[in-house]
Amino acid sequence: QVKLVESGGGSVQAGGSLRLSCAISKYTYKTHSMGWFRQAPGKEREGVAEIYTGNGYIAYADSVKGRFTISQDNSKNTLYLQMNSLKPEDTAMYYCALRYYSDSDADFDEYEYSDWGPGTQVTVSS
């Protein structure tokens, strides 16, 4: 099984930036997509950004469009999430995940994501 480990979380003031990294234990050429999800206390987990490895299609949640950027470095087996103009409502535990196939062909279908990292905490203060 592939192991994922997130890093780069921390505490930042509103308007600041953070770059999250997700180290993937081995090359995953058979993935359908890779994504970032987040879960705030008392709320359901939600998709933030994902990238389809086959055609490069990228999707963002409306709440982060224009502020967050997802990217990947296949040479380093690493997925990134650059987060700019952070807001207090971005405070959450952030997870990276892999999806190997898709029946739904839907964005952020977390039920199809099978490998997950333990998460990294992001806290944004006002």
- Other beta carbons within 10 angstroms of residue 116's beta carbon come to 15
Q: What angle do CA 4, 8, 52 make, to 5 degrees?
A: 50
Residue-wise pLDDT tens for the chain (126 aa)? 789 999 999 999 999 999 999 999 976 667 889 999 999 999 999 999 999 988 889 999 999 999 999 999 988 899 999 999 999 999 999 999 999 988 888 899 999 999 999 999 999 999
* Residues in the chain, total: 126
